[in-house]
A = this chain, B = another copy of it.
């Protein structure tokens, strides 16, 4: 007869240990790499950080227990991933970053036993990385999945894939790809996509270039990848043919929320740095933190973070019930992404000239957070979907009268 928002002692302990690990082991490394434009420091560093995370008992807490993880559900991931997100290197260190975290989630749900052994097992332990090849350059499937242009043609014993993908996170260095390709219909048609698993060394797969973006924390970067007559045997079709978008939805809801969790950590860090700054500095006849306009920015940050967290809790609750949670994840993602940009922006403003300098990590955090309003569906696409569902419900209610 009452809602319960308490985390178990085990989760609270994991959160604390994660925060300590980030502060002690990850932040010093992040700061050392601050000026580096290489995405997330490269794979050597990743392995080193992964080993440290394993030693600290905080590695891959979301991975299935049978593959060495803690099997945390979405609700319990939230505070842990947020703690990890305090450092832009935290998700890589814990192996909970995009796209691996979402791929682990999806493979655990729909891969065959053989696929799990071949692809999921080494991925879950961090032995390898992976990529999810869905989005395409215009006029292909960017924000609009119906525009899918990459095709998979049925051939003897398997499929032959051709197409160009863009913004494929982690592609450079990935051990394997999950490729979304059209197997029914044409560009502009709804649905008709199939997902395929393919080792990176498969003939015809080429990582052509990095697209350098303002965020730098995702290992393997955001790449353009071309697929030329790539052969995938039937046993490496992931899930049922032509059901790719349905599976993608299975992946997207949770992946969207783990994005919110991680980036929340970065936003919280930016806010704390700014509050610490104004708490210790004088100006205009007093402590900066006591000026009304500073208080307004501090309070607005607190409100934005609290609302984002509350929406995240709701969405995770629904996902853990097994619901699609399309609405609650779209809302939490849209609000969160916009709120985090606002928070980082106010944090910069609060710190004056230093706020936009490399003396503080705020501008760097803001640059990490900005793309989140575009990645994983731009705010506009989510708003369009949210509105369509609201209008659909209204029509249904009207027609039921």
Contact = CB atoms under 8 A, between A and B. Distances in A.
Interface of A: 1-8, 10-11, 73, 75-76, 135, 138-139, 142-144, 147, 166-167, 188, 211-215, 222, 272, 275-276, 278-285, 289, 291-296, 298-303, 306-307, 310-311, 313-314, 316-317, 320, 327-328, 331, 334-335, 348-349, 352-359, 363, 367, 370-371, 373-375, 378-380, 382-384, 386-388, 390-391, 394-395, 398
Contacts of A285: 188
A300 B213 contact: no
A100 to B, nearest CB: 20
Given A282-B139, A310-B307, A293 B383 contact: yes
B302 A390 contact: yes
A374 B358 contact: no
Given A281-B139, A374-B355, A294 B295 contact: no
Nearest to A353: B167
A370 B306 CA distance: 23
Contacts of A352: 142-143, 374, 378
A279 B394 contact: yes
24 contacts: A1-B8, A1-B73, A5-B5, A138-B283, A142-B283, A166-B353, A167-B353, A213-B353, A275-B390, A276-B398, A284-B384, A293-B384, A295-B383, A295-B387, A298-B386, A298-B390, A299-B383, A302-B386, A306-B335, A348-B370, A349-B374, A352-B378, A356-B371, A367-B367
A320 B306 CA distance: 18
Contact of A384 (B222, B292, B320): B292
Contact of A291 (B5, B292, B331, B379): B292
Contacts of A331: 302-303, 306-307
B349 A373 contact: yes
Main DSSP-derived SS at the A contact region? helix
Nearest to A295: B387
Contact of A310 (B279, B299, B310): B310
Contacts of A314: 5, 306, 310, 313
A149 to B, nearest CB: 12
B316 A3 contact: yes
A296 B380 CA distance: 8
A353 B375 contact: yes
Contacts of A11: 1
Contacts of A166: 353
A4 B1 contact: no
Contacts of A320: 2
A296 B306 contact: no
A359 B143 contact: no
Contacts of A354: 211
B398 A279 contact: yes
A6 B5 CA distance: 11
Contacts of A353: 135, 142, 166-167, 211, 213, 222, 371, 374-375
Contacts of A294: 292, 380, 387
Closest A-B pairs by Cβ, 4 of them = A292-B292, A310-B310, A299-B383, A295-B387
A378 B358 contact: no
Given A292-B291, A387-B296, A311 B306 contact: yes
Contacts of A275: 390-391, 394
Most buried by B among A6, A7, A298: A298
Contacts of A281: 138-139
Nearest to A212: B358
B284 A144 contact: yes
A258 to B, nearest CB: 16
A390 B272 CA distance: 9
